[in-house]
């Protein structure tokens, strides 16, 4: 969602802000802007469209002079994408300049009150209302910035991360957080604020994580933190260990292709964190053997691709570990009224650790007295701090909006969870356990082999670039994978795509199949192959063009498919990690063939941090 960057220090602010916004482009945006101050005077420049336009207008920031400033990339919520609705916003009296990530739900009510007090508005945004709220309380309470921020925070319903400049305070930046992500960076040349680590990683690896309803007062050489009662609190500085090479494409044309090729490493490092001397040890995540033995149910909650990982986990934890699992989309879980087993546990899955609905589900679970664990890629994220324990994936920074390596790392995490659950609950023998470990540790090499057949994927994409509809089908784990394959295709190619359990085709969906319709079939589960072959025959008889993904050595698809994409054989549980690779590559090359912006698909954001 929206990206925030701020700087105060010894260097010219605007070039730093432009660079930071470039690092936040992956979050998704439709417009951008800068506010830079030289003393009391604040210069504001905004533009719609891609960030390069703002960079051109400001000569990459060189046209704006000042050592303090704020930058923003906007993803429209209130008000259409336009220059007037872009951030930064200022109060009508010019006292406050503000950038904001989040949604203020009671902005209409507050707007009416402020208009009655003489404030005027030029935009349709909730953020402009927040700027004027800050101005109102600033003047009401003796021009005390901290008091103004506290009073405003307490009256806002919704979520926010603010970067704030007060006209009368030229040597200070302020920041405030209420559910939306926010970090403060410390460097030798000054201090930074941002909505995400990549924005400042080239300048510093030392960051503070403000908690909910906290305020930061940031000067060139210091930062202080306060709670909403204006009591000063201590925040520890954390060193970020990410490799900055993740932020560069290197030899690859797009970040997505680079990240597809980083999957062997991401899976290997995720596995090696928890597999030592032939044993899976998840105790550091809080999921000790004792906890696993006590569980009578798991609730796995996530959004998007992470939810598709949850579906894989459900199939295999129930089959291998014998533990009932319920999966739910986070935005549904948080609003359902239901009984949850007191001996159960909730596991939320989130790449960023900031996904709004997933975070809400975690909090609700804990409020109801359940243990709540997380599978997360970002240490220090809100979910990682609030969960009872965390299994950390080791995907590194993922820049492309369409997830690839984070998905694969999450699969590795749920495989380990499943196998360890089965072992401690006495569902598998030592021989079977060791066999699973062997297959897990060979997974990165087999993923690497899947990446060797890109020429065929490129050729297929060229021949299919005119497709307007696609259907993904599969049974069991293959259905869970079909959901992910369909999402990958639709989000970066804009081809209408749907995923179905193959057995559901005859219940209505097959009426949509006609000559030339693209059907992608997943067929990696041995015991389900005969049934799936029947489904392929059904769609072929209606004119479908069928591409099948199958394991090497399984030739059942050859006679009924127009093209077959083979992946190495492994244990049935692990097949999604291999079969997803051709689906990712097909979506990537189709997007390229259709001339789309692969890494930044329209209307999408990397991290969904608002409802």
* Active-site annotation, residues: 2, 606
- DSSP character for 69? E
Q: Count the alpha carbons within 13 Å of 416 in the hemisphere toward its beta carbon.
A: 31
Beta-carbon contacts of 205 under 8 Å, excluding residues fewer than 6 positions away, are 239, 240, 241, 242
Q: What is the DSSP string of 473-526?
A: EESTHHHHHHHHHHHHHHHHH--EEEEEEGGGGGGTGGGG--TT-EEEEEE--G
Those residues whose C-beta lies under 8 Å from the C-beta of residue 426, and which sit 6 or more positions away, are none
Helix, strand, coil percent content, the chain, rounded in steps of 5:
40, 25, 35
Number of neighbouring beta carbons within 10 Å of residue 178: 20
The CA–CA distances, whole Å, from 129 to 33, 79, 151, 231, 434 equal 18, 13, 14, 26, 60
Alpha helices in 141-245 (DSSP H): 145-155
Burial group, residue 117, by CB count within 10 angstroms (0-12, 13-18, 19+):
exposed
Separation CA 37–CA 44 (nearest Å): 9
Which of 226, 200, 207, 142 minimizes the C-alpha distance to 381? 207
What is the rounded CA–CA span in Å between residue 111 and residue 324? 49
**Whole-angstrom distance, CA of residue 266 vs CA of residue 546:** 31
d(CA 178, CA 160): 5
Q: What angle do CA 180, 186, 189 make, to 5 degrees?
A: 130
d(Cα 498, Cα 402) in Å, to the nearest integer?
17
Decide: 380 and 365 in contact? Cβ < 8 Å: no
For residues 97 and 44, the answer to whether their CB atoms sit within 8 Å is yes
DSSP state of 67: S
Q: How many CA atoms lie within 13 A of 251 on its CB side?
A: 2
Phi-psi region of 100 (alpha: psi -120 to 50; beta: other; left: phi over 0): beta
CA distances from 73 to 21, 60, 129, 192 (A): 7, 15, 18, 16
- Rounded Cα distance between 545 and 182, Å, is 48
36 in Cβ contact with 24 (< 8 Å): no
CA distance 175 to 324: 44
Contact between residue 28 and residue 401 where contact means Cβ atoms under 8 Å apart: yes
Q: 385-394 burial string, b = 16+ CB within 10 Å, else e?
A: ebbbbbbbbb
């Amino acid at each position: 969602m929206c990206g925030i960057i701020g700087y105060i220090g010894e260097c010219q602010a605007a070039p730093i802000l432009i660079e930071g916004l470039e690092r936040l482009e992956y979050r998704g945006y439709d417009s951008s802007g800068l506010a830079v101050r030289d003393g009391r005077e604040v210069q504001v420049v905004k533009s719609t469209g891609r960030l390069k336009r703002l960079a051109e207008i400001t000569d990459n920031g060189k046209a704006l002079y000042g050592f303090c400033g704020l930058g923003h990339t906007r993803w429209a919520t209130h008000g259409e994408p336009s220059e007037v609705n872009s951030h930064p916003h200022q109060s009508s009296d010019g006292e406050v300049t503000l950038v904001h990530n989040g949604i203020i739900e009671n902005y209409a009510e507050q707007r009416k009150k402020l208009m009655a007090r003489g404030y005027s508005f030029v935009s349709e945004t909730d953020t402009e209302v927040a700027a004027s709220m800050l101005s109102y309380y600033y003047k009401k309470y003796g021009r005390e910035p901290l008091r103004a921020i506290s009073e405003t925070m307490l009256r806002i319903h919704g979520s926010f991360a603010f970067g704030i400049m007060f006209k009368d305070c030229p040597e200070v930046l302020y920041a405030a957080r209420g559910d939306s992500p926010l970090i403060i960076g410390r460097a030798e040349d000054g201090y930074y604020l941002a909505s995400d680590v990549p924005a400042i990683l080239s300048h510093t690896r030392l960051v503070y994580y403000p908690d909910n309803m906290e305020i930061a007062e940031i000067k060139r050489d210091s930062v202080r933190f306060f709670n909403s009662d204006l009591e000063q609190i201590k925040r520890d500085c954390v060193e970020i260990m990410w490799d900055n090479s993740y932020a560069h494409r290197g030899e690859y044309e797009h970040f997505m292709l680079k990240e597809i090729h980083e999957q062997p490493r991401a899976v290997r490092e995720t596995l090696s964190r928890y597999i030592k001397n032939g044993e899976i040890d998840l105790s550091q995540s809080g999921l000790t053997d004792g906890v696993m033995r006590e569980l009578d149910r798991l609730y796995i909650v996530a959004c998007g691709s992470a939810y598709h990982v949850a579906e894989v986990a459900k199939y295999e934890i129930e089959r291998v570990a014998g533990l009932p699992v319920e999966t739910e989309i986070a935005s549904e879980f948080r609003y359902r009224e239901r009984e949850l087993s007191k001996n159960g546990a909730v596991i939320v899955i989130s790449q960023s650790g900031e996904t709004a609905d997933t975070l809400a589900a975690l909090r609700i679970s804990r409020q109801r007295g359940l243990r709540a664990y997380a599978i997360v890629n970002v240490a220090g994220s809100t979910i990682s701090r609030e969960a009872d324990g965390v299994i950390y994936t080791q995907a590194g920074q993922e820049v492309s909006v369409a997830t690839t390596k984070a998905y694969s790392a999450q699969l590795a995490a749920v495989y380990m969870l499943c196998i360890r659950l089965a072992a401690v609950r006495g569902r598998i023998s030592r021989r079977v356990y060791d066999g699973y470990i062997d297959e897990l540790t060979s997974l990165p090499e087999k993923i690497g082999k899947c990446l060797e057949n890109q020429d065929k994927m490129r050729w297929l994409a060229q021949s299919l670039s005119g497709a307007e509809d696609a259907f993904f089908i599969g049974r069991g784990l293959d259905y869970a994978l079909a959901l992910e394959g369909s999402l990958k295709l639709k989000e970066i190619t804009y081809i209408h795509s749907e995923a179905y359990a193959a057995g559901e085709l005859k219940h209505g969906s097959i009426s949509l199949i006609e000559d030339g319709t693209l059907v992608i079939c997943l067929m990696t589960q041995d015991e389900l192959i005969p049934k799936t072959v029947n489904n392929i025959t059904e769609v072929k008889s209606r004119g479908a063009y069928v591409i099948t993904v199958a394991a090497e050595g399984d030739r059942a698809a050859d006679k009924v498919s127009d093209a077959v994409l083979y992946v190495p054989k492994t244990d049935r549980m692990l097949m999604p990690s291999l079969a997803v690779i051709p689906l990712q590559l097909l979506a990537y090359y189709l997007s390229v063939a259709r001339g789309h912006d692969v890494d930044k698909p329209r209307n999408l954001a990397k991290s969904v941090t608002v409802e």
